[in-house]
Amino acid sequence: MKKIFYNSPLGQITILADDQAIYGLWFNKQKHFGGHYDLDTIEGDMTKQAAKAINWLDKYFAGQNPSCTGLVLNPDATAFQQKVYQTLVKVPSGETITYKELSNLIQAGHPHKNLSRAIGNAVSHNQLLLLIPCHRVIGSNGSLTGFAGGLDRKKELLKLEGALPNE
């Protein structure tokens, strides 16, 4: 596993990957930066999956809608978090989903006592920002709520995707 840095228009991004998979993609200094990984002890170097992530990021920040085909995403996540993430990757670019809608989709096959809190926790601990589009989750009233990368970035990402009008 190696780390590499990507300079995006919204700040530096750290990518954690090897030749087989991408394990993390974080805006530097965001909440939950690095997840469970000690990034200070991981060497920096390019890997096959990191190169694919950089290609994806270049297209994404150029305003394209790149496919994740060929990217192998492997976040360190519980089975429940994986279910949330599998649902999130189905939300198309340019669209949003509310926490309530997300809860309704998850609830069908996953009874959970405190479902809303569990979903919020899973979304906030997403280790693969942008690739697993947690920035597309909004409040039921349309408000831009919680994003580990910061609400200003969330707003800019949604504008870039066309989900919010440019002011």
Considering the domain architecture, whether residues 39 and 84 belong to the same structural domain is answered as no
Contact predicate 14/5, CB 8 Å: yes
Classify residue 10: in a domain, yes or no.
yes
Of 129, 86, 76, 127, the residue nearest 106 (C-alpha): 86
Domain CATH code at residue 94: 1.10.10.10
Considering the domain architecture, whether residues 43 and 97 belong to the same structural domain is answered as no
Number of domains in the chain: 2
Give me the pLDDT at residue 110, please.
57
Give me the pLDDT at residue 128, please.
97
167 pLDDT exceeds 80? no
10, 26, 61: which is the final residue of a domain? 61
Mean pLDDT value across residues 9-23? 97
Catalytic-residue membership of 134:
yes
Catalytic residue among 129, 134, 158, 160: 134
How many angstroms separate the CA atoms of 67 and 92, rounded?
Answer: 11
How many angstroms separate the CA atoms of 67 and 72, rounded?
Answer: 12
Of 87, 92, 47, 50, the residue nearest 67 (C-alpha): 92
Considering the domain architecture, whether residues 91 and 57 belong to the same structural domain is answered as no
Position with higher pLDDT, 46 vs 166? 46
Mean pLDDT value across residues 128-134? 96
Considering the domain architecture, whether residues 104 and 154 belong to the same structural domain is answered as yes
Mean pLDDT value across residues 94-112? 81
Give me the pLDDT at residue 73, please.
97
Classify residue 47: in a domain, yes or no.
yes
Mean pLDDT value across residues 18-43? 93
User: What is the C-alpha radius of gyration for the chain, rounded to an integer number of angstroms?
Assistant: 15
pLDDT digits (tens, 9 = 90+) for 52-95: 999 999 999 999 999 999 999 999 999 889 999 999 999 999 99
Give me the pLDDT at residue 113, please.
66
Instruction: Tell me how many helices (H) and strands (E) the chain has.
Output: 5, 5
Give pTM, 2 decimals.
Answer: 0.92
Classify residue 72: in a domain, yes or no.
no
Considering the domain architecture, whether residues 93 and 152 belong to the same structural domain is answered as yes
How high does pLDDT run on average in the chain?
Answer: 91
- What sign results for the dihedral spanned by CA atoms 127, 137, 124, 161? positive
97 pLDDT exceeds 70? yes
Q: Which residues of 149-165 are buried (b: 16+ CB within 10 A; e: fewer)?
A: bbeebbbbbbebbebbe
Considering the domain architecture, whether residues 41 and 96 belong to the same structural domain is answered as no
Domain CATH code at residue 47: 3.30.160
Give me the pLDDT at residue 109, please.
58
**28 lies in which domain range?**
2-61
Considering the domain architecture, whether residues 118 and 46 belong to the same structural domain is answered as no
